[in-house]
C-alpha cells in the first residue's frame, strides 16, 4: 500500500487503540495518536483476568513492516507458520513488582520461531516461553484474540 | 477462567462490544494491502452482503478507497481521509507550542538514529539489517529502530502540515469536515 511503513504503523496503532478502548478489561488507553507515540499503554482491570492485583497495565507494540525479517541471510528460517499476519507485534501485561506476561511475535533468542507466550512470576525470575498459534488475519481481530489468550493463560497461572 | 472472561470466544466478545459497521471499518483501517469484501467480511465476522453494504457506505464517506485488482474490487484506507483526520486532530487537540515541541523531539530522535547507525534513512538502516555480518539480535534491533524512524518521519510530516495550517484551521474548525 502506498505511503510507507510509517503510515501503516501509525494507522494500525491508532485502530488498535480504538479496539482496546472497546474491550471490557480496559479502563483507559494512553500513548495513542496523534503525536510522538510508538506504543500503546492501557490500564486494565486485573479482576477481569481473574487476578487479585489492584492495578495492572498493558503495552501494545506493532511493527507493520518486519522486512528483511528473520529469514534473511544466515538467520534461522521462520515461515510465520503460527500466525497469518506478517508483522512484529507484542501485547504485554504487567502487575507492579509482580507477574508480567505477554504474547510476542518477534525474534527472541530463547524461542524457536516468532510467535510465543512468555511469563515470569516476578521481575527477579527468568521468563518461561511457550509457542502459540493465532488465527486472526486482521490486526483488529488479532487484538481481541490475544486478549482472550491472555485471559486463558492468566487463569491457568492462578 | 475468570467470571468476566468466561467461555466466550474472542469473536463473540468482539461482536458484543463493537457493531458490524465498526468491525468492518476497523478491519479495513488496519489493512496494509487491499482486500476484497469477502476477506473483510470473514475477518469482521459479518455476512458478505453486510460487508459490501458497509464498504459502500465507507467509500461514499471517503474513508475507504476501492481498487480493482484482477477484475475484483478490493478496498483499502483512503490516504487523503487519513491525512485530513490526523492533521485535524493535531490542530484541535494540541497547541501550536506543543506541536513545535513534538517536532523538535522527533527531529532529535531522527538525528540520533542517523548518527548512531551512520545511516542516511530508515530504508538504508533496514537494508543494513540483512548484511551477512550482522547478528540476529542486531538485525532485529535495526529493524525496530528503522520502524521507529519511519513512524517518526510520518508523524513529523503530519505535525509540520498541522503547523502550516494551524492559524487557518484552528480559527475555523468547520473548514475540515472529513
Q: What pLDDT score was predicted for residue A114?
A: 86
User: Nine-digit cell at B168?
Assistant: 487557518
Residue of A nearest to B159 (CA): A35
Q: Do B2 and A66 touch (CB under 8 A)?
A: no
Stated as kind and residue range, the H or E segment containing A153 is helix A139-157
Between CA B10 and CA B16, with CA B12 as vertex, the angle to 5 degrees is 115
Which parts of chain B have pLDDT scores under 70? 1-8, 171-178
Q: Please judge whether B139 and A50 are an interchain contact, meaning their C-beta atoms are less than 8 angstroms apart.
A: no
Instruction: Give the burial class of B27: count Cβ atoms within 10 A of its Cβ; 0-12 exposed, 13-18 middle, 19 or more buried.
Output: buried
Which residues lie across from A26 on neighbouring strands?
A44
Interatomic CA distance for residues A11 and B166, integer angstroms? 22
CA distances from B15 to B12, B21, B44 (A): 5, 10, 9
Residues of chain A with pLDDT under 50: 1-2, 72-75
pLDDT computed for residue B70 by the predictor: 76
B2, B97, B127: best mutation site toward chain A, by most A Cβ within 10 Å? B2
pLDDT of residue A2: 43
- The ipTM (two decimal places) reads 0.91
A90 interface with B at CB cutoff 8 Å: no
Residue with cell 483507559: A28
- Distance from the Cα of residue A77 to its chain's centroid: 22
A36 vs B18, B76, B106: nearest CB: B106
pLDDT at residue B58, rounded to an integer: 98
Residues 98-157 of A with CB under 8 A from B: 106-107, 109, 136-141, 144-145, 147-148, 151-152, 154-155
**Closest to A22 (Cα-Cα) out of B20, B16, B55:** B16
> Cell for A102?
505477554
How far apart are alpha carbons B11 and A138 in whole angstroms?
A: 12
B144–A1 C-beta distance less than 8 A: no
Which value, to the nearest 10 degrees, does the dihedral of the CA atoms of residues A147, A137, A127, A156 take?
40
**What is the distance in angstroms between the CA of the first residue and the CA of the last residue of chain A?**
44
- Which pLDDT score is estimated for B132? 78
Cell of B1: 477462567
The distance in angstroms from the start CA to the end CA of chain B is 43
pLDDT in tens, A3-15: 588 999 999 999 9
Residues in CB range of B9: below 8 A, 6 or more apart: A148
Amino acid at each position: 500500500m502506498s505511503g510507507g511503513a510509517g503510515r501503516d504503523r501509525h494507522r494500525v496503532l491508532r485502530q488498535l487503540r480504538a479496539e482496546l478502548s472497546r474491550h471490557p478489561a480496559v479502563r483507559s488507553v494512553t500513548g495513542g495518536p496523534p503525536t510522538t507515540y510508538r506504543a500503546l499503554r492501557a490500564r486494565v482491570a486485573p479482576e477481569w483476568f481473574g487476578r487479585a492485583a489492584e492495578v495492572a497495565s498493558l503495552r501494545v507494540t506493532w511493527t507493520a513492516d518486519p522486512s528483511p525479517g528473520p529469514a534473511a541471510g544466515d538467520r534461522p528460517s521462520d515461515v510465520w507458520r503460527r500466525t497469518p499476519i506478517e508483522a512484529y507485534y507484542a501485547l504485554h501485561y504487567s502487575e507492579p513488582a509482580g507477574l508480567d506476561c505477554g504474547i510476542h511475535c518477534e525474534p527472541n533468542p530463547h524461542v524457536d520461531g516468532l510467535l510465543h507466550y512468555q511469563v515470569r512470576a516476578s521481575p527477579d525470575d527468568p521468563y518461561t516461553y511457550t509457542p502459540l498459534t493465532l488465527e486472526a488475519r486482521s490486526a483488529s481481530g488479532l487484538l481481541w484474540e490475544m486478549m482472550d489468550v491472555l485471559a486463558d493463560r492468566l487463569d491457568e497461572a492462578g | 477462567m475468570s467470571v468476566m472472561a468466561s467461555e466466550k470466544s474472542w469473536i463473540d466478545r468482539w461482536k458484543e462490544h463493537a457493531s458490524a459497521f465498526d468491525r468492518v471499518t476497523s478491519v479495513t483501517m488496519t489493512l496494509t494491502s487491499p482486500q476484497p469484501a469477502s476477506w473483510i467480511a470473514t475477518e469482521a465476522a459479518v455476512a458478505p452482503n453486510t460487508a459490501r453494504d458497509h464498504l459502500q457506505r465507507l467509500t461514499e464517506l471517503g474513508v475507504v478507497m476501492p481498487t480493482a485488482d484482477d477484475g475484483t474490487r478490493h478496498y483499502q484506507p483512503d490516504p487523503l481521509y487519513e491525512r485530513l483526520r490526523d492533521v485535524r486532530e493535531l490542530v484541535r487537540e494540541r497547541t501550536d507550542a506543543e506541536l513545535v515541541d513534538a517536532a523538535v523531539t522527533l527531529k532529535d530522535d531522527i538525528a540520533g538514529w542517523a548518527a548512531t547507525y551512520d545511516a542516511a534513512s530508515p530504508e538504508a538502516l533496514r537494508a543494513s539489517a540483512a548484511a551477512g555480518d550482522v547478528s540476529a539480535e542486531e538485525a532485529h534491533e535495526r529493524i525496530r529502530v528503522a520502524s521507529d524512524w519511519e513512524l517518526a518521519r510520518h508523524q513529523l510530516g503530519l505535525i509540520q502540515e498541522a503547523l502550516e495550517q494551524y492559524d487557518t484551521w484552528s480559527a475555523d474548525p468547520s473548514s475540515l469536515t472529513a
